[in-house]
Structure 1
């Protein structure tokens, strides 16, 4: 009987440890994409944002990830020769500096990370 109790305690202890690790990974994954979700969903439905999402879907980009897990990258669009540092919450491009809303570069990274659909 004691062996059964020890075995059950060990079994539940191992499962609790595995669940704790899984939840830690899930929390870390959410933290890495949190910057993109700082904008309300209504922002992404604005006409100029729909156009930016279309550009991100259709335009060719060169992306060099510095930290792929967090989405930090140097990105260049085919229509613009400048290279920008960008992640899911900020970009160095003039469009982002002017509007403080997701630009085509941010949307491209979000598409690559499957946070949004490629087409609307």
Structure 2
């Protein structure tokens, strides 16, 4: 009788931990998916002179950020030299700079800075 109770307790314990591990892995996968759009660009892209200038602008300019979804890092943004608000995520932006070269613009860099993905 005691053996059955002990075995049942061990099974319940392992089931709870398996469930916790499952939830943790699910959260990790979601986190990776949310950050993946920014990481699609290779590190050497960010070392180009034009990209360094965009990163400098993101750090120094007063870009207003209004998150639509902070979890998904999707926001409406406006820099001082923007004519109107642009919608931006970690992998895309409505601004003319991004549309021209499909590389991270100052808006995307600003989101990456807020999320701590770059320095």
Q: TM-score, normalized by length of structure 1?
A: 0.93
**2:107, 2:23 → 1: CA distance?**
33
Structure 1 residue ranges without an equivalent (≥5): none
**1:116, 1:82 → 2: CA distance?**
26
Structure 2 residue ranges without an equivalent (≥5): none
Match of 1:52 in 2: 54
**1:54, 1:4 → 2: CA distance?**
62
Shift of 1:33: 1.2
SS in 2 for 1:6: helix
What RMSD in Å do the two structures reach over aligned CA positions?
Answer: 0.9
Instruction: Pick the structure with greater CA Rg.
Output: 2
Aligned residues: 117
Superposed structure 1 runs of 4+ greater than 3 Å apart: none
Aligned partner of 1:40 among 37, 42, 48: 42
